């Protein structure tokens, strides 16, 4: 069985590298390429496609929007391939209907294995992505009810819970597998939404709501 693949990325160099990696595989064939979301939709309409390698950031629309439009019972299966590996991007890709998520720079063997696995009906996530998903959903599951702070996102609630436990920014970053800069940005938004001016006030509000246990 030959697996028909479409490459969607606005960087010609990446498409060249992916094409070079795939063309030598006897069971894979590239049936189309696209540099924009509109081109991707057109290729999928015109070709028989099994797997689409989809970048998130396209010049005319989000790759996640395109993913949502083309996946379905009769649509091709999508592997998002992106430089982004933050939780929001990964979870958004899953919600859009992606069947895999890889970080750009994976080896040729990993890429070919991912395409074959997804084409066969499986789902694929690189090791670092799998760790992030595990931490993300575990942390969400452990949080108290959303009722206390309904304006906070899941990630912001995770950060607030760790603040309530007395964690430093560095420890929060390690726990959530993100950069300290990302943690600081989340904390700024948490302070704004809770209308508090410092960490101590946020900790008190969080502990009063049952967080940090």
Q: Which are the contacts of 190, defined by CB distance < 8 A and separation ≥ 6?
A: 152, 156, 159, 160, 163, 202
Instruction: Supply the Cα-derived Rg of the chain in whole angstroms.
Output: 20
Residue 92 sits in the same domain as residue 21? yes
Residue 213 lies in a domain: no
If you average pLDDT over every residue of the chain, what do you get? 86
Structural domain boundaries, residue 181:
143-208
Per-residue pLDDT tens over the stretch 152-181: 888 888 899 899 989 999 989 888 878 889
Residue 110 sits in the same domain as residue 18? yes
As for how many domains the chain has, the answer is: 2
Residue 133 lies in a domain: no
Residue 117 sits in the same domain as residue 198? no
Residue 130 lies in a domain: no
Q: Is the pLDDT of residue 127 over 70?
A: no
Q: What's the CATH number where 72 sits?
A: 3.40.50.2300
Residue 110 sits in the same domain as residue 15? yes
pLDDT on residue 145: 46
Q: Is the pLDDT of residue 116 over 70?
A: yes
Residue 113 sits in the same domain as residue 153? no
Residue 162 sits in the same domain as residue 101? no
pLDDT on residue 49: 96
Residue 85 sits in the same domain as residue 16? yes
pLDDT tier for residue 71 given thresholds of 50, 70 and 90:
confident
Residue 172 lies in a domain: yes
pTM of the full structure: 0.63
Average pLDDT over residues 57-73: 88
Angle in degrees, CA 142, 194, 198, rounded to 5: 100
pLDDT on residue 6: 98
pLDDT on residue 115: 96
Residue 104 sits in the same domain as residue 14? yes
Residue 121 sits in the same domain as residue 170? no
Residue 113 sits in the same domain as residue 168? no
Residue 29 lies in a domain: yes
Domain boundary among 125, 151, 169: 125
Distance from C-alpha of 198 to C-alpha of 195, rounded to nearest angstrom: 9
Angle in degrees, CA 59, 63, 69, rounded to 5: 120
For residue 171, give both structure tokens: 């420890």
pLDDT on residue 44: 95
Residue 176 sits in the same domain as residue 88? no
Residue 138 lies in a domain: no
Residue 152 sits in the same domain as residue 197? yes
Q: What's the CATH number where 156 sits?
A: 1.10.10.10
């Amino acid at each position: 069985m030959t697996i028909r693949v479409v490459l969607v990325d606005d960087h010609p160099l990446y498409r060249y590298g992916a094409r070079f990696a795939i063309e030598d595989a006897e069971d894979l064939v590239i049936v189309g390429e696209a540099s924009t979301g509109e081109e991707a939709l057109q290729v999928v309409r015109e070709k028989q496609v099994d797997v689409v390698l989809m970048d998130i950031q396209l010049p005319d629309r989000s790759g996640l929007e395109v993913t949502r439009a083309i996946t379905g019972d009769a649509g091709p299966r999508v592997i998002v391939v992106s430089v982004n590996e933050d939780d929001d991007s990964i979870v958004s890709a899953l919600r859009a209907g992606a069947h895999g998520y890889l970080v750009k720079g994976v080896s040729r063997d990993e890429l070919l294995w991912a395409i074959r696995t997804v084409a066969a009906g499986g789902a694929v996530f690189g090791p670092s992505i799998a760790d992030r998903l595990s931490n993300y959903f575990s942390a969400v599951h452990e949080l108290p009810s959303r009722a206390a702070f309904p304006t906070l996102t899941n990630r912001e609630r995770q950060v607030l819970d760790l603040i309530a436990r007395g964690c430093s920014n560095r420890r929060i970053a390690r726990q959530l597998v993100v950069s300290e800069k990302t943690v600081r940005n989340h904390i700024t938004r948490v302070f704004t939404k809770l209308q508090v001016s410092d960490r101590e006030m946020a900790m008190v509000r969080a502990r009063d709501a049952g967080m940090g246990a």
